[in-house]
Structure 1
């Protein structure tokens, strides 16, 4: 048997959704009080809050984010601006942001862009203006563009920047992922196994993350007196296809490296394909390390050793910083990577 409605709720017109005016009238409070409760204002007595919230649950009342935005001359929307070719990275980042926004009254809207095209900053400006965004998460490669950050600051739009390494930013709005540290740990692991002929397939150098990972890895080898020949470093584009093309160069002929460090897991999957096609056994003949520790890493066979960089946590921290009180400063935050050892590496034969 369904629960009977309270006398107040029974007076609502059948088949029509309740409005904020209905809630105020039935609860015997002002519309402003209901609005304060919706927006988690501390200026409401506990018993009043509980009464109004119970009434809203009973009638199934859900505040309209756009209507709330009009009342406050802004929307309850957080934007995510990204320029990245890896779909899994973006999905994980969105999940993290949604974790932070759950039950907050804020919603997430996304804006893919191509930072290499002229006028893309104007496109982001229109996105912010049209949506009346409360704040923006900037995801690589867009987060690395100082001109974009300056434009948002001029508009008075709060933002957070997800970056692979800290750099000068007077607003201190960075979430730093320390990609160099992850690459150093990967290099030290391969050195510990005894590898001395190690190749790298990097992401595009237009990405700061690719430069940080490459430099960290090469520097770790250099501290052990090892110099990586230029022929052992191939630039790819964080994609499976580019990993295949790079692996075909490195694995052709007899002069093969004993290990390959890949700029991300998509590139590593491309290496796996070429190795299988060429009769090269992983890890017996070739050790492979990826980066990101995406779901792909544990699904490959053998399971891929990869640097985990906690993408979902990064998105959660970036979004949570934006929905704090406007009076709270946005601090620099760190999300540190670490190596997840699986089955794709062993000492060289």
Structure 2
């Protein structure tokens, strides 16, 4: 049997030395004989608590039988990896960032791992250099990538090159199952459209998020799918560009509500912008929902802090964060064979109502 040449993030996985005419067992051999992944063998070697007892015992028995011992120098490198998980983000919505952090901390509770966050700017010429420096300086165990950083293929390529485990959170499947959590924003957009159509609205507008976010396109695409089911469509004039911020919601709302005829319903790409539209409606002397229906997306804290409380699409952001950590540090029995998918759902509150008579 020839030694594996598969690259690895863990130094001992590349051991191929020979002793006394008999090739020394490698981590690849131990993994094959124990019927587990190399990652699980490494966890046992590094005394990680995230391995089932029966799996640990089986691996230890194979190690003892074959006299396997990691190279001391490589072992030292492995032990210098920290119990830190990084969150790298470039997201203008502070509530998304907070909810994601809370979910990550939920998943780490009792594990011994800690969270470090790293804001970044995808437009910066040093974007990738900054990420490499952050990962290597902190010696991260792994990284969670929320949108829109998760949508940048250069980041995934970089993390693979330097051997850092990662989870990408996105609106669509972008990577291998073990690296992905998909939020199904398109489904949520369609749910919003059906709700607005069921209320009888036909003059409908949409405020999108930034063009650089895949979620903006998926939410719009789903919304248009839902309208098409009822024989309706959005014209280019019905769509205005926001930035996932309250201020952009106010600006877009002012523009839409100054038109004649104005829309009777506005679907916003997130709750921050929807809250901005509520302010625009008040400035225009309009009552919500009597004169105008407003629907958001995300169901963050602001959705219930404004008046009237927002009808919105709930996305389980905190739960997604918790699951992302479990995918990074969970034991072998929890390693997924399929992409993890999290479905949104419509939450009806007081900002949506029948079309005005």
Alignment TM-score, normalising by the size of structure 1: 0.79
Instruction: Tell me which residue corresponds to 1:8.
Output: none
The CA distance in 1 between the partners of 2:135 and 2:333, in whole Å, is: 21
Instruction: Tell me which residue corresponds to 2:298.
Output: 292
The CA distance in 1 between the partners of 2:140 and 2:241, in whole Å, is: 37
- 2:123 counterpart of 1:116: yes
Cα offsets for 1:131-158 (capped at 9, x unmatched) = 1101000111100011110110111111
Instruction: Tell me which residue corresponds to 2:325.
Output: 319
Instruction: Give the drift of 1:165.
Output: 1.4
The CA distance in 1 between the partners of 2:157 and 2:333, in whole Å, is: 20
- 2:141 counterpart of 1:134: yes
The CA distance in 1 between the partners of 2:210 and 2:281, in whole Å, is: 22
Instruction: Tell me which residue corresponds to 1:220.
Output: 226
The CA distance in 2 between the partners of 1:240 and 1:308, in whole Å, is: 18
Instruction: Give the drift of 1:254.
Output: 3.4
Instruction: Give the drift of 1:197.
Output: 1.0
- 2:341 counterpart of 1:334: yes
The CA distance in 2 between the partners of 1:258 and 1:111, in whole Å, is: 41
- 2:92 counterpart of 1:81: no
**For 1:219-298, what aligned pairs fall within 5 Å after superposition?**
219-298=225-304
Cα offsets for 1:267-318 (capped at 9, x unmatched) = 0111011110110110000000000101111111111101000110010011
The CA distance in 1 between the partners of 2:255 and 2:302, in whole Å, is: 23
Instruction: Give 5+ residue unaligned stretches, structure 2.
Output: 1-44, 54-75
Instruction: Give the drift of 1:334.
Output: 1.0
- 2:107 counterpart of 1:100: yes
Contact residue 51 and residue 332 of structure 2 kept, 8 A: no
Contact residue 177 and residue 340 of structure 2 kept, 8 A: no
Equivalent residue for 1:173, pick from 174, 179, 185: 179
The verdict on how the C-alpha distance between 1:203 and 1:288 changes in structure 2, with shifts beyond 3 A counting, is same
Instruction: Give the drift of 1:172.
Output: 4.0
The CA distance in 2 between the partners of 1:173 and 1:304, in whole Å, is: 33
Instruction: Give the drift of 1:227.
Output: 1.9
Contact residue 83 and residue 140 of structure 1 kept, 8 A: yes
Cα offsets for 1:223-245 (capped at 9, x unmatched) = 22212111110011000111111
Task: Select between 176-185 and 111-120 the one with higher mean Cα deviation.
Answer: 111-120
- 2:205 counterpart of 1:207: no
Equivalent residue for 1:149, pick from 135, 156, 168: 156
Contact residue 282 and residue 345 of structure 1 kept, 8 A: yes
Instruction: Give the drift of 1:122.
Output: 1.2
Q: RMSD of the alignment, in Å?
A: 2.2
Instruction: Give the drift of 1:39.
Output: 4.6
Instruction: Give the drift of 1:42.
Output: 7.1
Contact residue 145 and residue 166 of structure 2 kept, 8 A: yes
Instruction: Tell me which residue corresponds to 1:90.
Output: 97
Between the two proteins, the alignment pairs up a number of residues equal to: 290
The verdict on how the C-alpha distance between 1:264 and 1:42 changes in structure 2, with shifts beyond 3 A counting, is closer
Instruction: Tell me which residue corresponds to 1:310.
Output: 316
Alignment TM-score, normalising by the size of structure 2: 0.77
